[in-house]
Amino acid sequence: MKGIRTIIPYIPGEQPNYPTMIKLNTNENPYPPSPKIEAILKSFNSEQLKRYSSTDNLSLKKSLAFKHGVTPEYFLIGNGSDEVLAFCFMAFFNSSEPILFPDITYGFYKVWADLFHIPFQEIPLNNAYQINIDDYIQPNGGIVIANPNAPTSLIKPLSEIEELIRQNPDVMVIIDEAYIDFGGESALSLLESYPNLVIIRTLSKSRSLAGLRVGYAIGQPKYIRIAESIKSSFNPYSVDSLAETLATAAIEDEKYYTETIEKICKTRDWFSQSIAHLGFQSFTSKTNFILTTHSKLSMEDLYHYLEKQDIFVRYFPKIERLRNYLRISIGSQEEMNEVYQKLAHYVESNRTKA
Ligand SMILES: *Cc1c(COP(=O)(O)O)cnc(C)c1O
């Protein structure tokens, strides 16, 4: 038949669901969202749902404006940051030159580029699995970088991010800060000086709201307006009224989230040090996950072993340079104690076998 589209979709981590499992494969937050969320859900007036949700999401934008120290016109809200990224790709990547992103990064960038017929070039990470900013100083139609990068967990210092933006003044540079709350330095302070910077944030990771689907972009109003017009051309009501209400409460409960983020970072640093004693080498993580390897073990075998123990982590068999790595999301301290015990047992039994 004529006119039928072929596309390779984004493949997310599996979503197994049974009570005994330890789920560490999609970088979700192990802690529940702010208690304010539950309070609102209990008292939410369902009558409100007979009306359409707001198209400007002003109540959420006002909370975000207060949190980030800018005005509401700096924000675009969407149904998860995946959708916000899609709107930004459509709004800002319309050149005939290829957009640039790392060869090892968040899998959706390539999927969106394909879907929207945007030419792209994947720039290899260097030998240390780092983004090399100099590689992005070449003619291009735009740039998208996750900082910290996923699944490497590595962060670029702000000075290098600024250099990247400064050297590419004629194109939009999208910095995806999905994990920035776990210890990195945000590019927010560059926003006033660089109109070609757009920052993407999500409530899915640090705000424990992956299932709510809320993300946002921050950029200069002149360009945010263009992304808004893309949203209005596609799905003006993409953020439902319950989601907007709950997201606003989450943004306003900074104290609760500061505490859960601290717990996760503490567990992360403890876990990577502990498994280092078992011979695992992990990158220095500024995220809520670690990327780890072991010189004497097959990570593919370990992945299957963990799966049999109802511990789900992420293995990327299709990415050549990650064939012997596992990405492990950081769960609660209790969960990570248990994972550590399993890993210690596995390492020990493989030693005696050898
Ligand atoms: C998880 C993640 C997203 C998507 O977040 P949602 O808001 O849940 O759509 C975007 N970018 C990166 C780098 C991520 O890891």
- Contact between 144 and 176 under an 8 Å Cβ cutoff? The reply is yes
Minimal-distance CA residue to ligand 1 atom 1? 178
Instruction: Indicate the top mutation candidate among 204, 213, 239, 291 to test ligand 1's pocket, ranked by most ligand atoms within 8 A of CB.
Output: 204
Q: According to the model, what pLDDT value does residue 129 have?
A: 98
Distance 152 CA to ligand 1 centre (A): 14
78 lines ligand 1 (CB under 6 A): no
Q: Distance between CA atoms of 106 and 85, rounded to whole angstroms? A: 11
Distance 211 CA to ligand 1 centre (A): 12
Residue 44: Cβ within 10 Å count: 14
The minimum-distance atom of ligand 1 relative to the CA of 203 is 7
Q: Distance between CA atoms of 81 and 41, rounded to whole angstroms? A: 23
Q: According to the model, what pLDDT value does residue 40 have?
A: 96
SS3 333: helix
Distance 176 CA to ligand 1 centre (A): 8
Q: According to the model, what pLDDT value does residue 353 have?
A: 67
Average pLDDT over every residue of 80-106: 98
- Please, where are the H alpha helices in the chain? 35-43, 58-68, 80-92, 108-115, 158-166, 221-234, 241-252, 254-276, 299-308, 333-353
Please write the tens of the pLDDT for every residue from 252-302: 999 999 999 999 999 999 999 999 999 999 999 999 999 999 999 999 999
The answer, yes or no, to whether residue 53 has pLDDT greater than 70, is yes
109 lines ligand 1 (CB under 6 A): no
Instruction: Indicate the top mutation candidate among 11, 82, 83 to test ligand 1's pocket, ranked by most ligand atoms within 8 A of CB.
Output: 82
Q: Buried b vs exposed e over 79-106: b needs ≥16 C-beta within 10 Å?
A: bbbbbbbbbbbbbbbebeebbbbbebbb
Residue 354 — pLDDT band, cuts 50, 70, 90? low
To the nearest whole percent, how much of the chain has pLDDT over 90?
93
Average pLDDT over every residue of 185-212: 98
Please write the tens of the pLDDT for every residue from 296-350: 999 999 999 999 999 999 999 999 999 999 999 999 999 999 999 999 999 999 8
102 lines ligand 1 (CB under 6 A): no
Please write the tens of the pLDDT for every residue from 94-113: 999 999 999 999 999 999 99
To the nearest whole percent, how much of the chain has pLDDT over 70?
99
Task: Tell me the β-bridge partners of 311.
Answer: 22
Identify the DSSP state of 354. Answer: -
Q: Is 199 or 6 the better-scoring residue by pLDDT?
A: 199
Instruction: Indicate the top mutation candidate among 15, 106, 198, 286 to test ligand 1's pocket, ranked by most ligand atoms within 8 A of CB.
Output: 106
- Contact between 28 and 210 under an 8 Å Cβ cutoff? The reply is yes
81 lines ligand 1 (CB under 6 A): yes
Topology of the domain comprising 51-253: Aspartate Aminotransferase; domain 2 (3.40.640)
Q: For the chain, what is the mean pLDDT? A: 96
Q: According to the model, what pLDDT value does residue 8 have?
A: 86
Residue 58 — pLDDT band, cuts 50, 70, 90? very high
Average pLDDT over every residue of 33-57: 95
80 lines ligand 1 (CB under 6 A): yes
- Say whether the peptide bond before residue 98 is cis (omega within 30 degrees of 0): no
The minimum-distance atom of ligand 1 relative to the CA of 81 is 7
Q: Where are the domains of the chain?
A: 22-30+254-349, 51-253
Instruction: Indicate the top mutation candidate among 205, 206, 285 to test ligand 1's pocket, ranked by most ligand atoms within 8 A of CB.
Output: 205
Which CATH code, of 3.40.50.300, 3.40.50.720, 3.30.360.10, 3.90.1150.10, is assigned to 22-30+254-349? 3.90.1150.10
Minimal-distance CA residue to ligand 1 atom 5? 81
- Say whether the peptide bond before residue 9 is cis (omega within 30 degrees of 0): no
Q: Which of 157, 196, 163, 164 is nearest to 180 (CA)?
A: 157
Q: According to the model, what pLDDT value does residue 19 have?
A: 80
The minimum-distance atom of ligand 1 relative to the CA of 214 is 7
Distance 178 CA to ligand 1 centre (A): 6
